Homo-oligomer: A and B are copies of this chain.
Amino acid sequence: MSFLITILGSGAAIPLLSRYPTAQLVQVHNTMILLDCGEGTQMQLRKYVSKSLRIGHIFISHLHGDHFYGLIGLVNTFHLLGRQKELHIYGIPALKQILDLQLEHSWTTLAYPLIFHQINPDVPEIIMEDKHITVSTIPLNHRIPTCGFLVREKNPRRKIRKDFLEKVKVPHSEFERLRDGDSFVDAYGQEFPNNEITEDPRPAKSYAYCTDTAFHEAMIPQIRGCDLLYHETTFAQDKREDARAKFHSTAVEAATIASLAKVKKLMIGHYSARYQEVDVLLKEAMAIFPETIAAEDGKVVEL
């Protein structure tokens, strides 16, 4: 039962060598998704992630280049690597135009099905659902249409009690059914109701990914109480006018949102290239919301 986030890029619009543009890999059980795909994401995947061909879904928050210029390269590399499995991409319709135009002029017909899902970044809604997770849009307030994404683990399953397994011989093949809530009938016909042989599942975990955005309280109802909030922190507080003008947030603003939304933990990132070190941003955020960590390229966070 794992919920892992790998930071592939923690930088903002101008990349540094130590800080590529935005992309994050989220793995929940065996579901692998990508949140944004800035230039160089395929190199970062090569550096930090094995089996990235397993990525099934890519979500693009908005059409500023530092969030999607790496998408066409990744789509193309998957093709060259012989991918056959469907790839689902979620974004505003213009993203599809941009991909199609580039594929057309390279005379490329992808070897795998690329399924494009048109999203409306202004409306909070579930846009993807599989066995393990749901992904919803979180409308944000940026200069161009932008949304964050809420990744929510689905139905953590019941846990079979150890004392029951010690007492009664249960074939391995039955485990899945029991975790799903079924009763067990042993070889002698005796029935064990599920609530006697399993424990309640732990609460579902959730990850809110909110970048790029100005200070935007409207997101709070959607992200309330989530296990981890990634909130962009492009500037320190002394640059709050820059943040406002560019529809970005300061560390203080990110921490204020985290605090108001009572999230369990905050991760800051999307740092302006002006900050070679991000201590100042982390310190400002922690003064308001102590449970704050700083994203950096290659960092893996487990929920």
Interface: A139 (CB within 8 A): no
The minimal Cβ–Cβ distance linking A117 to chain B, given in whole angstroms, is 17
Interface: A187 (CB within 8 A): no
Would you call A14 and B80 a contact (CB within 8 A)?
A: yes
Residues of B contacting A102 in the complex (Cβ-Cβ under 8 angstroms): 63, 65, 69, 98
- Most central of A39, A98, A143 by chain B CB within 10 Å: A39
A42 interface neighbour in B39, B46, B106, Cβ under 8 Å: B39
Within A89-127, which residues are at the interface with B (CB < 8 Å)? Answer: 92, 94-95, 97-98, 101-102, 105-107
Interface: A155 (CB within 8 A): no
CA distance A17 to B298 in the complex (A): 14
A32-76 vs B, Cβ < 8 Å mask (1 yes, 0 no): 000000011011001100000000000000011100011011001
Q: Please classify how large the interface on chain A is, using the bins under 10, 10 to 19, 20 to 34, 35 or more.
A: 35 or more
Would you call A63 and B105 a contact (CB within 8 A)?
A: yes
CA distance A65 to B81 in the complex (A): 15
Interface: A15 (CB within 8 A): yes
> Contacts A72-B69, A73-B69 given: A101-B105 contact, CB under 8 Å?
no
Interface: A30 (CB within 8 A): no
Would you call A98 and B105 a contact (CB within 8 A)?
A: yes
Residues of B contacting A97 in the complex (Cβ-Cβ under 8 angstroms): 101
The minimal Cβ–Cβ distance linking A36 to chain B, given in whole angstroms, is 14
A123-139 vs B, Cβ < 8 Å mask (1 yes, 0 no): 00000000000000000
Copy tally for this chain in the complex stands at: 2
Interface: A84 (CB within 8 A): no
A81 interface neighbour in B14, B73, B92, B98, Cβ under 8 Å: B14
Would you call B42 and A77 a contact (CB within 8 A)?
A: no
Interface: A4 (CB within 8 A): no
Residues of B contacting A43 in the complex (Cβ-Cβ under 8 angstroms): 15, 17, 20, 39-40
A13 interface neighbour in B72, B80, B92, B107, Cβ under 8 Å: B80
Interface: A303 (CB within 8 A): no
CB nearest to A16 among chain B residues: B46
Within A181-197, which residues are at the interface with B (CB < 8 Å)? Answer: none
CB nearest to A38 among chain B residues: B73
CA distance A13 to B97 in the complex (A): 22
Interface: A144 (CB within 8 A): yes
CA distance A185 to B47 in the complex (A): 65
CA distance A17 to B44 in the complex (A): 8
> Contacts A98-B101, A105-B98 given: A14-B47 contact, CB under 8 Å?
no
Instruction: State the A residues within 8 Å of B (CB).
Output: 13-17, 20, 39-40, 42-43, 46-47, 63-65, 69-70, 72-73, 76-77, 80-81, 92, 94-95, 97-98, 101-102, 105-107, 143-144
